[in-house]
Amino acid sequence: MQTPALAVSPAYRSLQAHAQLAGQWNLRELFAQSPQRFPAMTIEAAGLFLDYSKNLVSEQTLPLLCELARERGVETRRAAMFAGEKINNTEKRAVLHTALRAPRSMALTVDGQDVVADIHAVLERVKSFSELVCSGEWRGHTGKAITDIVNIGIGGSDLGPKMVCLALRPFVRPGLSMHFVSNVDGHDMDSILAKVDPATTLFIVTSKTFTTMETMLNAHTARNWFLRHANEPALPQHFVAVSTNAEAVAAFGIDTGNMFPFWDWVGGRYSVWSAVGLPIALAVGYDRFTEFLAGAHAMDRHFCDAPLEANMPVVLALIGLWNRNFLGHASLTIAPYHQDLARFAAYLQQLDMESNGKRVTRDGQPVGVSTCPTVWGDCGTNGQHAYFQLLHQGTDITPIDFIAALLPNHELPGHHAALLANCFAQAEAFMRGKTENEVRLEMRAQNMAEAEVEALVPHRTFPGNRPSNMLLMDRLTPATLGALIALYEHKTFVQGVIWNVNSFDQWGVELGKVLAKNIQAELEGQSPPQKHDSSTSGLIARAKKVATN
């Protein structure tokens, strides 16, 4: 049965009328009118704290948004996902990344199979292998312990473990270096191979089918490099796989006993909780990895149990939807004030944009409204000296998610107070802005000439009224990182339900892959010139000419 178009739903129309009023609001005035605005617009869950009070919302906005969520079936679809129903309708698959972090005591049967039991069987293998490597019992072909781990994957098989290993840097065991290769660009692999010793390096090749073009090209490059230093029987001591294709894994030279499987109901961008997280378990130890899973599970329970109005993922999703569909803001900036979260914005780019970057509904009809915003960002305070100028005084308004830990994972004096001061000050500055009168008073206090004051007023005025969320945790740990990732997963899910898109397929990545295969054959002289547009044909000809000179 087709879901009614979003744009004509009663709740959506009510919100459109409400947004007309919101166009007249000013955040300064909203705070002045309501001394209880901050406590009324904060939520705590799973070790995280969300302050959404610096958004252009009133006390009527969230109830209207929650009515839209109920009208669009968020609660029903949420229950269907957790029950293992095949909500990925275009691929006829269940969506069970939440089961990957479920405790062993939970039961979930899908197509007659005990999913949780299968998950924990793989986790036991991850535990055993990670303990062998971490203890030094697992040795390379010359008898030396492993000192470097190179993860070869792409997309979620790279972004997830890379982001988490960087975020949990203080917890990585001493003497171990983690490396990640994803790009088909040979400069990526070349830079890693120049740093590592074949006698002490372990490669993890992550590809569900063991056919992913970029991953397998990099894997064979690493294999060839290794075999220049060792014999083929040594391969199983230095290569393991995260895959389901045992035949291809064995043909590569990897012992299938060291192949860690995952399932077709695990999408790449949701796979960090599965065997794809093997690099994390190796880096921080299996116990820390289980803390990471437990933090995500705590957010899962909150998402399932909390009423919509007090449900952190739901509220974050609804505020994002309000900014996107009713206030017309086309992008979202992620600003983690924590250097170890340097790859978090890139991780959310894939999570959000690959999930909800869709133009048709689950029924194949045009969505009729704007969907996923463009997601981008960088660490504070670096971003303040790069793109915050545009955010403060540019022509487009970009909502911001600030993320910070109240306590550092270091003992360097002075740094953390400065970091938090910048984070909180930027959020306040985006909300308050600076009026023309405030600018005049400031410059007159500096005894500037009146003509100079008036000339500078337009340049030094900040419009303010720019929305942001503040997400805090006491400290960045495996558990709070797990909760943070799960929060954004569920936010993405809720928005996808409201837009009625399938958040769990990604057909848009396929076309370029098909065309690239044909063009590569032309570039390598393995096929005659194909019919392209004049630009593509000209680019291919130019590349071949330079390569042969």
Nearest C-alpha neighbor of 212 from the set 162, 251, 248, 263 = 248
Token pair, residue 217, equals 């090209």
Token pair, residue 304, equals 């399932």
Other Cβ atoms less than 10 A from the Cβ of 21: the count is: 11
Task: List Cβ neighbours of 235 (8 Å cut-off, separation of 6 or more).
Answer: 223, 226, 227, 252, 253, 254
Residues 465, 433: contact at Cβ < 8 Å?
yes
Nearest C-alpha neighbor of 469 from the set 416, 419, 431 = 431
Name the one residue in this structure whose structure tokens are 């792409």: 154
Which candidate in 144, 195, 513, 517 is catalytic? Answer: 513
Which candidate in 214, 354, 489, 522 is catalytic? Answer: 354
Alpha helices in 199-245 (DSSP H): 213-227
| Terminal-residue alpha carbon distance, the chain | 61
Beta strands 48-51; 468-473: pairing state: antiparallel
Judged by DSSP in three states, 20 sits in helix
Judged by DSSP in three states, 339 sits in helix
Task: List Cβ neighbours of 504 (8 Å cut-off, separation of 6 or more).
Answer: 87, 88, 91, 93, 95, 267, 270, 355
Nearest C-alpha neighbor of 129 from the set 232, 240, 233 = 240
* Residue 229 falls in the annotated catalytic set: no
What whole-number distance in Å separates Cα of residue 499 and Cα of residue 358? 9
Per the rule left: phi > 0, alpha: psi between -120 and 50, beta: everything else, 253 is left
Beta strands 42-45; 48-51: pairing state: antiparallel
What whole-number distance in Å separates Cα of residue 500 and Cα of residue 411? 47
Other Cβ atoms less than 10 A from the Cβ of 63: the count is: 10
Which candidate in 385, 459, 531, 545 is catalytic? Answer: 385
Judged by DSSP in three states, 231 sits in coil
Task: List Cβ neighbours of 222 (8 Å cut-off, separation of 6 or more).
Answer: 150, 152, 181, 189, 193, 203, 239
* Residue 513 falls in the annotated catalytic set: yes
* Residue 454 falls in the annotated catalytic set: no
Nearest C-alpha neighbor of 485 from the set 240, 242, 300, 239 = 300
Active-site residues, by number, are 354, 385, 513
